[in-house]
Structure 1
């Protein structure tokens, strides 16, 4: 435990992926760093419940093999990703259709951010495991797909010509520089889709449910620039899960920090540019403070910091010994005929999430949680998978009211991380509302801290409750 007189160059408040990643960068630069976390565990919203051998994510974050920060962040060398089958499955009019998969023999450019397979899955039903560090030009192996219907006229993608136009559009997204996407006019994503030059059937049957899944925003009120970045991520990589559950990412970051860096069960009640005040250990003096909590907790410590709206997410986990035959695909509902936005037999993607002989089906509901959510989800899943769910066992229902910060226009993708010399903030609410955004904001914040410390700028000697940062920060 910390002593009242403990000192460090930097105190990081919050042991989520942003705070832990920033601590890695600071320590690598020779800056003594202490990470304080109020909860008894690290990870924040990236948590995983363990029930009878199952690993159940509370929010069910989808990662992508094209997230550059997964490869750039120190401490994630051993992170193993389990990719979904290429593209997604769309349920429409009682049928399932493959969509969004890269064409065979794709160009090197479209495969630039794919990762090379390093290990075989322990079960034949799973896609090969890949490591986040192994970025390279080799495309991922194609997963076993089973007897699934091919897209055809009448499917959500429309005619063969419409499908070709969609494939061309996704290829362009994968090759478009980020700077060009960010220079486009900013609108709500739902309005911007109409200007994409694609048939209404393709937009409504594929792009809307896909973006709702990627952004956790069923109404697509998100900034069109953020939506374009999400489509670029989808088009240039593969959706995936961290092997063993979402909690593996923060746990890897914490485990690879020097012993004694992370202190859980320590509640920070006030911050200044030169100290933090804790409920358990009084004042801890330092040269700089980085607040790396969620947006609401950050605003309590930093008066004037803007608190965004949030998208609620509910994840319902079921198990069965007779899983539906959908391969390792993410299944979306083009018809929007029930509460489930997307679902998957995640134990086919990551066998570590379920004990032998059992399948784990995880389904995500976006927006307000409906009444009798498990019953409503079971009915919907029965239609999506084309099988009875009456004997499926419910393992958990996780509802998170403030799961994902909203990114409505106008949205600044690079909100300030330096509030004052000596006082900084990072998290997914300062960047994009993704794991990639959280890690990138940590990169920006740690860079600002190191620059200020190197310049030896005079620090503000503020009271434990700092002066109000810029009102719109």
Structure 2
């Protein structure tokens, strides 16, 4: 990169969704902005790759249409979103049960009859919880006492059996932890968003979301394949020694690079998740539904190409299965055996396409969990991302928006 001699108002380091949201708001306010991204594409952890004609997201992800920041910033129709079934399949030792929202799938109402998935006590508690989270002003949720999700579910009247049969296996894939230790305030916000919106995937991969955000920036603002080595009093320096002067710097990278650029930055621990992508000659399920199980052999699995056909070439099916932690020796074989059981089919004809391990997939969100934290780290220095808010697309976008507001305030704009 040639040396940039003209001082820009704000340098944003990292073109994930937080950095892109921050840059968009700063540009809208009339500031000059440069976004430097070390990799060859925008998106950070929210990226999609092409592998042998298949679309592979960097870890299984879903897109929630109800997030306020999503609705504010994105034209959802242009993303060509394909929805999941509004529910989940739960594989138990006695068969597979369906949990679905009867207001969206009335034919699934018999699955909620007492004695199948839940008893009368749990169904009543579920109705009360869902009505409150969906209809109450969001400020009530945000100001509620924060405790673990497990404690909150017990206080709401759910039986241990129903929590273990439904909530724990389902939420393990949302929180990336299987003890329901996550903040109850965050759980209620997530539950609210699921009731109010739809879980979807863009037909050509989750990477379409950050690409849509980047498309809203003025031409030339984002520079790809431009890493930053360190910050200086006047901006930043690239590994080649080129200077990028700026009045303010926003670090919008993942936790590792952020800690290197901003020594002493307070960062939470992060969850690690691995996703196995298998190719099958045909779909073992035939519907766009997430499948979970209480036995903890995996977090969740789904036939991604049943949800969004663009993920797989015609005549093939793509199955994504996520587990907590690293890809260890023999783990894929264990997962494959579990998939044969839960899908009720042989997996001998399946091939392992690729494996994606995400080291910093989601921040740990134990109570008390702040829903937003200042992005101001020091004079002219800011940090945004899900580690400054909540582990979600909403949290990352909101953190980017907050960084822009704080920069504008400090620059007198």
Check the 8 A contact 2:273/2:358 in 1, yes or no: yes
Equivalence map 1:178-327=2 (5 Å) = 178-272=138-232, 274-327=234-287
Counting matched residue pairs gives 413
Match of 1:394 in 2: 352
Instruction: For 1:246 and 1:273, locate their aligned partners in 2 and report how far apart those are by CA, in whole Å.
Output: 37
Instruction: For 2:142 and 2:134, locate their aligned partners in 1 and report how far apart those are by CA, in whole Å.
Output: 14
Match of 1:159 in 2: 119
Match of 2:22 in 1: 22
Match of 2:388 in 1: 430
Deviation at 1:76, TM superposition (A): 6.9
Match of 2:303 in 1: 345
The answer to whether residue 31 in structure 2 is matched with residue 71 in structure 1 is no
Partner of 2:301: helix, strand, or coil?
Answer: strand
Deviation at 1:446, TM superposition (A): 1.0
Match of 2:364 in 1: 406
Q: CA RMSD in A?
A: 2.3
Could you list the per-position Cα deviations for residues 366-414 of structure 1 after superposition, in whole angstroms to 9, with x for gaps in the alignment? 2344531211111111111111112111111111222211112222221
Partner of 2:186: helix, strand, or coil?
Answer: helix
Distance 1:37 1:394, change over 3 A: same
Match of 2:93 in 1: 93
TM-score (norm: length of structure 1) = 0.82
Partner of 2:302: helix, strand, or coil?
Answer: strand
Judging by fraction of residues, say which structure has more helix.
2
Check the 8 A contact 1:71/1:77 in 2, yes or no: no
Check the 8 A contact 1:415/1:430 in 2, yes or no: yes
Check the 8 A contact 1:69/1:440 in 2, yes or no: yes
Distance 1:74 1:205, change over 3 A: closer
The answer to whether residue 16 in structure 2 is matched with residue 9 in structure 1 is no
Distance 1:417 1:57, change over 3 A: same
Deviation at 1:295, TM superposition (A): 1.9
Check the 8 A contact 2:86/2:101 in 1, yes or no: yes
Partner of 1:150: helix, strand, or coil?
Answer: helix
Match of 2:129 in 1: 169
Deviation at 1:190, TM superposition (A): 2.6
Match of 1:449 among 400, 407, 413: 407
Distance 1:390 1:151, change over 3 A: farther
Match of 1:39 in 2: 39
Instruction: For 2:63 and 2:347, locate their aligned partners in 1 and report how far apart those are by CA, in whole Å.
Output: 28
Deviation at 1:151, TM superposition (A): 4.0
Check the 8 A contact 1:73/1:439 in 2, yes or no: no
Instruction: For 2:33 and 2:49, locate their aligned partners in 1 and report how far apart those are by CA, in whole Å.
Output: 29
Instruction: For 2:170 and 2:194, locate their aligned partners in 1 and report how far apart those are by CA, in whole Å.
Output: 9
Instruction: For 1:79 and 1:217, locate their aligned partners in 2 and report how far apart those are by CA, in whole Å.
Output: 30
Check the 8 A contact 2:278/2:353 in 1, yes or no: yes
Instruction: For 1:218 and 1:77, locate their aligned partners in 2 and report how far apart those are by CA, in whole Å.
Output: 34
Instruction: For 2:353 and 2:374, locate their aligned partners in 1 and report how far apart those are by CA, in whole Å.
Output: 41
Match of 1:112 in 2: none
Give ranges in structure 2 of 5+ residues lacking alignment: none
